């Protein structure tokens, strides 16, 4: 497992150095292209805190290019009266979108404040890797270009990459470091928003977005089928829902968003409904609230868990940190555990006087657990891939 980083522009330097740098960037570009063409999910950290871009490969049977190809095979030239306008297979492959791109909790620049600035105000300590939604769209364009184009012989391409669309936005909480109004209002109104209930009400009041969906609470009671999360605005192979007990947990801090997806093969046979999932819980969630994932039917395999390491408190515990993360990891058996919401931001206001933060690593949490229980770490954690993605880094979820 390794983090990926897009090539930086070539700086002004001597011709020999420029040639070496260009060759290195060309190699990196081809490496990225090969990686993306494996058609696995790509997770990109857009800032140092908890803004993410999750790029999910569209199943083969759902790709527009493949559907057009099937139509051409069923309706040969001369039978439709419009065969001359059907693009070639090569053209279809080049222009078909390969990924469904989900933007999570976007806060790219500026400050955030809850209640009032005198009470709480924060700024990113590190400038976000992308500074605007337009720049996010450029990143998406790069991903699409790398995933669908033949491997290039050189880099950079002759023309700059066009912007490509965000397909959906997920907002986990109504707090403005997750629901940052200035950033969200840069998102085109046609992009559907999937938000926690309180956040959804606030976002609707802005009258900017055409579709704002309250994240359904799934896998409750007798309902164990992830496919009911695939509401009308989502493709049938994808579902977005909420996990956690909102009525019990004050401000429903300790909850999660589950993004479940089915990667059916070329024949489109996804009747089994078996899914992979990315579980995003910026403040942590109790293992009890995640138990339904383990008993879902059809089964859900947790591909990635996004859970922070830092223990953050203001009297009560806000971010549950690495110790809770160990328990959640054991339950979900996620292949990847990715740290999130651990940026030590610049803060002001009354809250900053009382905020307590304890920084942990996974190793710290394991060691403390051994001391408390007197037992060694169990085998369930030996194969965990923990990733602390830097600002602007990407991880292929294989």
Query: How far apart, in whole angstroms, are the C-alpha atoms of residue 309 and residue 289?
Result: 19
21, 36 contact by CB (below 8 A): no
Q: Does the residue 315 lie in any domain?
A: yes
Q: Does the residue 13 lie in any domain?
A: no
Q: Does the residue 82 lie in any domain?
A: no
Q: What is the pLDDT at residue 148?
A: 77
Query: How far apart, in whole angstroms, are the C-alpha atoms of residue 62 and residue 162?
Result: 23
Residue 94 has pLDDT above 60, yes or no: no
What residues does 311 pair with on adjacent strands?
A: 358
**What stretch of H or E contains 364?**
helix 362-373
Structural domain that includes position 243: 18-63+98-382
pLDDT tens-digit map of 275-290: 999 999 999 999 988 9
Q: Does the residue 256 lie in any domain?
A: yes
DSSP-derived secondary structure letter, 282: T
Q: CA nearest 184: which of 167, 171, 198, 201?
A: 171
- List of residues 6+ apart from 393 with CB closer than 8 A: 3, 4, 5, 44, 45
Q: Does the residue 396 lie in any domain?
A: no
Q: Does the residue 8 lie in any domain?
A: no
Alpha helices in 14-158, H assignment, sequence order = 15-36, 64-74, 89-95, 133-148
The enclosing domain of 154 has a CATH number of: 3.60.15.10
Q: What is the pLDDT at residue 62?
A: 83
68, 24 contact by CB (below 8 A): no
Q: Does the residue 3 lie in any domain?
A: no
Q: What is the pTM for the complete model shown?
A: 0.81
Count of domains in the chain? 1
pLDDT tens-digit map of 142-160: 889 888 766 554 445 444 4
pLDDT tens-digit map of 340-398: 987 776 666 555 556 667 777 888 787 777 777 766 666 666 667 888 899 999 999 98
């Amino acid at each position: 497992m390794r983090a990926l980083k897009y090539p930086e522009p070539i700086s002004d330097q001597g011709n020999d150095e420029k040639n070496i740098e260009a060759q290195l960037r060309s190699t990196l570009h081809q490496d990225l292209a090969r990686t993306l063409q494996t058609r696995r999910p790509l997770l990109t950290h857009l800032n140092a805190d908890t803004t993410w871009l999750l790029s999910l490969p569209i199943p083969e049977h759902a790709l527009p290019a493949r559907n057009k190809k099937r139509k051409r095979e069923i309706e040969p030239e001369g039978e439709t009266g419009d065969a001359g306008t059907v693009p070639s297979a090569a053209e279809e492959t080049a222009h078909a979108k390969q990924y469904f791109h989900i933007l999570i909790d976007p806060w790219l620049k500026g400050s955030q404040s809850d209640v009032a600035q005198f009470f709480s105000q924060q700024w990113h300590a590190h400038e976000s890797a992308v500074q605007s939604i337009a720049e996010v769209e450029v990143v998406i364009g790069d991903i699409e270009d790398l995933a669908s184009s033949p491997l290039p012989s050189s880099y950079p391409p002759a023309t700059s990459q066009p912007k490509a669309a965000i397909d959906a936005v997920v907002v986990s909480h109504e707090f403005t470091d997750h629901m940052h109004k200035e950033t969200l209002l840069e998102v085109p109104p046609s992009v559907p928003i999937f938000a926690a209930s309180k956040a959804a009400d606030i976002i609707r009041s802005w009258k900017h977005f055409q579709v704002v969906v309250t994240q359904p609470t799934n896998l409750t009671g007798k309902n164990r089928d992830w496919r009911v999360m695939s509401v009308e605005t989502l493709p049938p192979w994808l579902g977005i829902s909420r996990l956690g007990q909102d009525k019990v947990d004050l401000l429903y801090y300790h909850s999660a968003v589950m993004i479940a997806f089915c990667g059916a093969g070329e024949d489109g046979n996804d009747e089994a409904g078996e899914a992979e999932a990315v579980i995003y819980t910026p403040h942590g969630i109790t293992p009890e609230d995640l138990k339904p994932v383990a008993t879902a039917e059809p089964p859900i395999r947790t591909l990635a868990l996004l859970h922070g390491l830092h223990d953050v408190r203001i009297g009560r515990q806000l971010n549950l940190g690495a110790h809770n993360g160990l328990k959640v990891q054991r339950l979900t058996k996620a292949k990847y555990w990715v740290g999130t919401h651990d940026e030590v931001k610049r803060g002001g206001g009354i809250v900053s006087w009382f905020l307590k933060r304890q920084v942990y690593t996974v190793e710290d949490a394991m060691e403390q657990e051994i001391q408390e229980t007197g037992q060694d770490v169990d085998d369930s954690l030996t194969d965990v891939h923990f990733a602390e993605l830097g600002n602007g880094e990407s991880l292929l979820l294989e």
